[in-house]
Each structure stands twice: as C-alpha cells, then as structure tokens.
C-alpha cells in the first residue's frame, strides 16, 4: 500500500463516517493521526448514530497508526487554536490536514427536524445554512489557516477539503451545494497561494459512502457501487505519498478515480466506478 511512516496528519470531524474512515486509511499507512470530534461518549451525538472520537482512535491504532483523539468544537476558534498548538508542541510538524468536519445534518434521523417535508430553500431552517458554513466552510478555512504556517516552514504538506458533487449540481439543496462549491473554490485559491511554498491543496469527492447515516437509510440507496469510509482514507494516503502531488494542487479529485490512478482497491477488494457529476 502506501507508506506514511513519520508523517503527521490531522483529520477533523472523525468520530464516525468519512472522517473516521480517512483516519483509518492514514493509520494503516503508518501515519501519526490526530483526530477531532465533539462526541466523547458513545451514543451522545446529536444524530444518535453511535461512535466517539475515542473509540475511533482505538480502531485507527489497531490498523497500524498512532492516533491521538481530541475533543474539539471547530466553531470555537480557541479550541481550534489549542489543537494546533498541541500538534506543534508534540510533533513540531504537520504533513496532512483533512478538512472533513461538517454541520447541518445533525438531526437528520432523530425526528427533531422534519427534513423530508421541505419543499425548497424557502422553508429550510435558516440555522442549517449557518451550521454548514460555520461548522463546515469556515471551520475548513480556519484549520487551513492554522496549518499553513507549519507546512510553509517545512516546505511540504497536503490539505484536503472533503467536498462532493453537489458543488456542481443545482438539485442537491441550496445551502449544501453552495457550501460545497465554496469548499472547492477555497481549495483552488489556497492552492494558488501555497504553491510557491510547495504545499498542495485539493478537494476530494467521495462516491456513495457506507457511513452510519447512509446505512441507516440503505433502503433508499442503490448500494451496488458504494464505497467504504476507509476507501476515502486510502485515497488521501495515496495523494500524501505522491512526491509529485503539487501537480494536482488546486484540482477537484474523485476518490474512485484516485484509486484507479494509484492502483488500490476498497477494503473488500472491489474497485468502485468513478461517478460523473450527472449521476452523483
């Protein structure tokens, strides 16, 4: 697979789902992985989906990584600064930042918010826009801004914004699509400013990922071309191990296509097909 021994990574929002899968993929490649989450106790998440940042860390350690779980609310700048201060003090470097933390769908399955009855953006709760941009886009900007000085000093690094095809669609909800489009453009602009410092920035589109929330609604999905959360981590590991990654800086990449390009499969040995924007 890929060797990230000696590399230090941070994955935000990794108590479960894609974030946890990315941490697992980096851990199996031998990286030292810091993960953040707001859930410290099993079953305490707003969405009632299970998992915790501490349980996720145990799994990452089991697959070969060294994992440091940290409770962190990325809407609180003081907590985010403290996180990066700790990484700087303990490691003195940061090689990989994965901006995965997200907000807005916390109550999708617990019945608190009646998502399915919405007709359009005009009857969407205004708070969901705020959560997607504060817990998502702004949190990604803040973490990147705090990671950049470390990466600039060592003249190397990779920042990955976890985005989605909704950024290029008009039928996936106004708030979500606009937020993901902002993540994509953020990656392009940051890539431009960081290129002289040999630091790469990309946006990464997963396919249909078998997260806890997707599995809870599996009856509504065609799972035949689905991907594991850890598949996303293998993609990040492949990109981080590529000595020519700067050539891809500023691009929007698709996980399944990254797998084909770098020659790896999902954890079940399958080779998911890359989706197009039209079918995502």
Q: Phi, psi (5° rounding) for residue 219?
A: -65, -20
CA pair distance 87, 28, nearest whole angstrom: 20
Q: Which residues contact 178 (CB under 8 A, 6 or more apart)?
A: none
Q: Is the dihedral of CA 229, 92, 159, 247 positive or negative?
A: negative
Active-site option among 34, 105, 109, 176: 176
Q: Is 176 a catalytic residue?
A: yes
98 close to 160: Cβ distance less than 8 angstroms: yes
10 close to 144: Cβ distance less than 8 angstroms: no
Identify the three-state secondary structure at position 98: strand
Q: Tell me which residues are annotated as active site.
A: 176
């Amino acid at each position: 697979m890929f060797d990230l021994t000696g590399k230090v990574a941070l994955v935000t929002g990794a108590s479960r789902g894609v974030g946890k899968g990315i941490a697992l993929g980096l851990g199996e490649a031998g990286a030292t992985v810091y993960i953040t989450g707001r859930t410290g106790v099993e079953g305490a998440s707003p969405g009632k989906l299970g998992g915790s940042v501490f349980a996720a860390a145990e799994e990452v350690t089991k697959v070969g990584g060294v994992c440091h779980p940290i409770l962190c609310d990325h809407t609180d700048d003081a907590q985010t600064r403290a996180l990066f201060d700790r990484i700087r003090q303990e490691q003195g470097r940061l090689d990989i930042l994965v901006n995965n933390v997200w907000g807005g769908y916390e109550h999708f399955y617990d019945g608190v918010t009646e998502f399915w009855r919405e007709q359009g953006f005009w009857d969407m709760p205004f708070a969901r826009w705020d959560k997607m941009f504060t817990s998502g886009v702004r949190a990604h900007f803040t973490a990147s801004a705090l990671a950049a000085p470390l990466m600039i000093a060592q003249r190397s690094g990779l920042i990955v914004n976890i985005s989605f095809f909704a950024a290029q669609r008009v039928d996936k909800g106004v708030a979500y699509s606009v937020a993901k489009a902002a993540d994509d453009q953020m990656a392009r602009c940051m890539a431009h400013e960081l290129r002289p410092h040999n630091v790469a920035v990309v946006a990464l589109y997963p396919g249909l990922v078998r997260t806890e929330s997707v599995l809870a609604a599996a009856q509504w999905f065609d799972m035949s071309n689905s991907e594991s959360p850890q598949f996303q981590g293998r993609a990040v590991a492949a990109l981080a191990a590529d000595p020519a990654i700067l050539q891809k800086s500023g691009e929007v990449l698709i996980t399944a296509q990254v797998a084909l390009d770098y020659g790896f499969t999902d954890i079940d040995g399958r080779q998911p097909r890359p989706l197009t924007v039209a079918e995502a």
